[in-house]
């Protein structure tokens, strides 16, 4: 019995179709906008290993051996494998860990992969090893062997189908597989789907049904994620991830800087059994709300963004093979529930702290005078920078030199803020406080309706 058009759409274009019958039935499986749901239906799309096998069954383009290098017309050795633009950004710590394994274990580290497009980090690790340890015997064996019996997908495979293939393949790996960055990006992608939906339907936030429609739409998206076995399985983790992502990307505009730090320093490999993505997001979200709720009384957005950027570094583990020489904080906040008391320490007044005083001292021109290489009276030739006394610790907040440097990078004159903000009940402070409260993310809105309340104040991005 033939399917009617609505049944066919629900079941998918390839429902009951064998690979050899695609051309005969006139199905264009290479249409650029096709998704997994378009091909195999939204009711029960293939997931896991079944999805990988199904995609290769219809889009497979044979197997072949691939060398690591080829000789270009100019006689130079060029790399054969380039990173796909659909792959996620490289995690530096992961690349270095794979590189060290290749040097130590040789071929066993490059014999596991069988599909082209899933060698993002391992391929980069091989090229790093070839560059840095070219004469090592284990690296020489890897370069001589190349990649054997690699399965290829057709070059015209739709990008959304191939990206789902890559994400599903990564889901079989912990640590460097699905991680907290991908959860945050997926939350933003779900929000983008809503913005496209609003653009098509013309719905506005003034519509009485706006909130309920937003909630229903996002629940449909999350239900689809559950069917696919990807990322969010419940509303609360999605709400927290979206709230955190909005703070980093829109409100304080530190999203790219945070991603750069995470990709460069976070250890996804050795902590793969303990760094659970949703636990990391939960800790970051709790710490961000704590800081924003307190700092917004004293500082404006750019300064809060700097504090937030550095504070969130305490919520992730850092790799031990860091070669940059940068001093990195420890993994101090692993759980929002267990580490809440430690997070609250960030609220303590620090103006009289010995640590803060040391951070706010500046070298003097008289350094070296006195006894030996030290200053007068055996001092180190430093002069304490002005800092608020204990009686004014809540009245003034000085800007440490390290923060001033960050402000200059942002094009902000630290002199405007260097004296701190008066926290008295004057008109200027009331104006600043009112503006801050107006700009804050409406967390109660996110509790009930996701980020729907923000849509009315933003232009729709298509």
pLDDT digits 0-9 by tens, 13-22: 998 888 888 8
- 105-119, 159-173, 373-387: segment of lowest average pLDDT: 373-387
Banded pLDDT at 188 (limits 50, 70, 90): confident
Q: Give 413's contacts (C-beta < 8 A, 6+ positions apart).
A: 407
| pLDDT of 412 above 70 | no
**Distances, alpha carbon 335 to alpha carbons 287, 331, 332, 338, 372, in Å:** 10, 10, 9, 5, 49
Q: What percent of the chain has pLDDT over 70?
A: 67
| pLDDT of 364 above 90 | no
Residues, the chain, total? Answer: 462
| Number of other CB atoms surrounding residue 142 within 10 Å | 24
| pLDDT of 309 above 60 | yes
What's the pLDDT at 113? 56
| pLDDT of 430 above 50 | no
What's the pLDDT at 455? 38
Kindly state the average pLDDT of the residues 294-318: 88
**Distances, alpha carbon 213 to alpha carbons 197, 208, 455, in Å:** 11, 9, 13
What's the pLDDT at 82? 86
Distance in angstroms (rounded) separating the CA atoms of residues 230 and 135:
42
pLDDT tens digits for 58-79? 999 988 888 999 988 998 889 9
Distance in angstroms (rounded) separating the CA atoms of residues 35 and 30:
10
| pLDDT of 329 above 90 | no
Question: Highest mean pLDDT range out of 53-57, 210-214, 327-331, 381-385?
Answer: 53-57
Kindly state the average pLDDT of the residues 444-452: 41
What's the pLDDT at 234? 74
Give bridge partners of residue 151 from the DSSP assignment: 63, 115
Kindly state the average pLDDT of the residues 19-34: 90
| pLDDT of 439 above 60 | no
What's the pLDDT at 388? 37
Banded pLDDT at 449 (limits 50, 70, 90): very low
Q: Tell me the backbone φ, ψ of residue 112, rounded to 5 degrees.
A: -85, -40
Banded pLDDT at 28 (limits 50, 70, 90): very high
Q: Beta strands 77-79 and 361-363: pairing type? A: unpaired
What's the pLDDT at 330? 85
pTM (2 decimals)? 0.66
What's the pLDDT at 337? 84
Q: Give 409's contacts (C-beta < 8 A, 6+ positions apart).
A: none
What's the pLDDT at 456? 37
| pLDDT of 387 above 50 | no
């Amino acid at each position: 019995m033939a399917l009617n058009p609505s049944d066919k759409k629900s079941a998918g274009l390839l429902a009951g179709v064998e690979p050899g019958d695609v051309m005969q039935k006139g199905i264009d499986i290479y249409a650029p906008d096709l998704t997994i749901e378009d091909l195999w239906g939204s009711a029960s799309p293939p997931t896991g290993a079944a999805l990988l096998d199904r995609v290769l069954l219809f889009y497979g383009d044979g197997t072949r051996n691939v060398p690591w290098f080829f000789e270009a017309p100019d006689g130079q050795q060029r790399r054969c494998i380039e990173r796909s633009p659909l792959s996620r950004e490289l995690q530096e710590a992961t690349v270095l860990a794979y590189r060290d394994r290749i040097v130590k274990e040789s071929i066993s580290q490059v014999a596991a992969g069988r599909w082209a497009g899933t060698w993002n980090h391992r391929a980069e690790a091989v090229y790093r090893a070839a560059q840095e340890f070219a004469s090592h015997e284990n690296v020489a064996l890897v370069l001589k062997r190349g990649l054997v019996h690699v399965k290829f997908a057709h070059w015209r495979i739709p990008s959304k189908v191939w990206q789902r293939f890559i994400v599903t393949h990564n889901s079989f790996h912990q640590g460097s597989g699905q991680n907290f960055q991908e959860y945050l990006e997926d939350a933003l992608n779900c929000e983008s789907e809503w913005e496209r939906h609003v653009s098509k339907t013309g719905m506005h936030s003034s519509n009485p049904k706006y909130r309920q429609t937003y909630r229903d739409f996002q629940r449909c998206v999350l239900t689809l994620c559950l069917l696919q076995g990807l990322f969010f399985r419940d509303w609360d983790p999605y709400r927290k991830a979206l709230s955190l992502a909005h703070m980093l990307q829109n409100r304080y505009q530190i999203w790219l800087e945070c991603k750069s730090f995470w990709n460069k320093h976070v250890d996804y490999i050795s902590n793969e059994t303990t760094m659970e993505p949703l636990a990391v997001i939960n800790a970051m979200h709790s710490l961000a709300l704590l800081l924003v709720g307190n700092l917004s009384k004293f500082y404006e957005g750019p300064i809060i963004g700097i504090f937030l950027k550095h504070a969130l570094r305490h919520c992730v583990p850092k790799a031990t093979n860091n070669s940059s020489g940068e001093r990195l904080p420890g993994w101090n906040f692993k759980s929002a529930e267990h580490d809440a008391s430690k997070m609250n320490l960030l609220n303590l007044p620090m103006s009289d702290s010995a640590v803060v005083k040391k951070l706010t001292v500046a070298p003097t021109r008289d350094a070296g005078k006195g006894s030996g290489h030290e200053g007068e009276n055996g001092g180190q030739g430093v002069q304490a920078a002005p800092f608020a006394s204990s009686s004014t610790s809540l009245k003034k907040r000085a800007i440490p030199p390290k923060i001033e440097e960050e402000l200059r990078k942002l094009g902000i004159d630290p002199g405007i803020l260097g004296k701190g903000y008066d926290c008295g009940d004057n008109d200027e402070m009331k104006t600043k406080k009112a503006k801050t409260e107006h700009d804050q993310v409406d967390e109660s809105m996110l509790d009930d309706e996701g980020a729907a309340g923000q849509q009315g104040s933003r232009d729709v991005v298509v």
